């Protein structure tokens, strides 16, 4: 990110403090050794949590175009001696330096609505489709379509039906939907 670039919309905020991490871990059912992509990871709260689950045999790519957020994540990685997180500065609508069909799970935590508002959903979902291995999982966390705060204005929130329609157009099959707190839901899809 160059100095002329603005901070991305929503950067700096995280829904991680709102959700039930145990419920998230249970639903995602990640195993030690899994490869995870935390897309638009921000400061990496989800990345740090999931890195503990995949263990030293696993790998977590923390991708964002917000350089300051990645720098904060790198500080936490060093402070906590985490060895399995790879921060990557990248625009998720373009090239991401990850091998195709190598990711077991891609997490999009409260960012799909931002991509939709910026008319970037198509390029992002196409990119995810090429990064996930066949049978891999796309996990989408979004704010319930209710008045906030917390979260974005209701006008840009995505309902469960809207997310399902959006994602299944890219050869994903809905697996599960669950509340993970009073404000957020999690939808999982498997890549056909």
End-to-end CA distance of the chain: 34
| Torsion angle, alpha carbons of 13, 14, 19, 20, to 10 | -140
Cα–Cα distance for residue pair 4/14, rounded to 1 Å: 24
pLDDT per position as a tens digit, 123-167: 999 999 999 999 999 999 999 999 988 999 999 999 999 999 999
Tell whether the torsion through CA atoms of 77, 33, 164 and 128 is positive or negative. positive
pLDDT recorded at residue 2: 40
* CATH code for residues 1-6+35-99: 3.40.50.150
Other Cβ atoms within 10 Å of 170 Cβ, number = 17
Residue pair 54/36 in contact (Cβ under 8 Å)? The answer is: yes
Domain segments of the chain: what residues?
Answer: 1-6+35-99, 137-173
Q: Which pLDDT tens digit goes with each residue over 107-118? A: 999 999 999 999
pLDDT at position 83 over 60: yes
Q: How confident is the model at residue 94 (pLDDT cuts 50, 70, 90)?
A: confident
Q: Is the dihedral of CA 84, 9, 164, 178 positive or negative?
A: positive
Per-residue model confidence as pLDDT tens digits over 38-80: 999 999 999 999 999 999 999 999 999 999 999 999 999 999 9
Residue/partner pairs of 68-76 with CB below 8 Å, 24 or more apart: 68/7, 68/11, 69/11, 69/12, 69/41, 69/42, 69/43, 69/44, 70/41, 70/44, 72/43, 72/44, 73/41, 73/43, 73/44, 73/47, 73/48, 76/43, 76/44, 76/48
């Amino acid at each position: 990110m160059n100095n002329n670039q603005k901070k991305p919309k929503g950067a700096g905020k995280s829904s991680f403090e709102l959700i039930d991490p145990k419920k998230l871990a249970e639903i995602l059912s990640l195993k030690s050794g899994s490869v995870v992509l935390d897309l638009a990871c921000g400061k990496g709260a989800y990345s740090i949590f999931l890195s503990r689950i995949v263990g030293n045999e696993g790998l977590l790519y923390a991708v964002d175009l917000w350089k300051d957020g990645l720098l904060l994540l790198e500080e936490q990685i060093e402070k906590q001696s985490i060895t399995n997180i790879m921060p990557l500065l990248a625009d998720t609508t373009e090239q991401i330096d990850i091998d195709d069909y190598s990711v077991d799970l891609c997490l999009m935590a409260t960012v799909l609505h931002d991509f939709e508002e910026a008319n970037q959903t198509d390029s992002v979902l196409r990119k995810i489709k090429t990064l996930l291995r066949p049978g891999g999982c796309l996990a989408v966390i979004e704010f319930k379509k209710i008045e906030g705060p917390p979260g974005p204005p209701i006008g840009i929130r995505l309902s469960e039906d809207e997310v399902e329609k959006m994602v299944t157009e890219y050869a994903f099959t809905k697996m599960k939907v669950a509340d993970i707190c009073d404000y957020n839901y999690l939808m999982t899809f498997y890549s056909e």
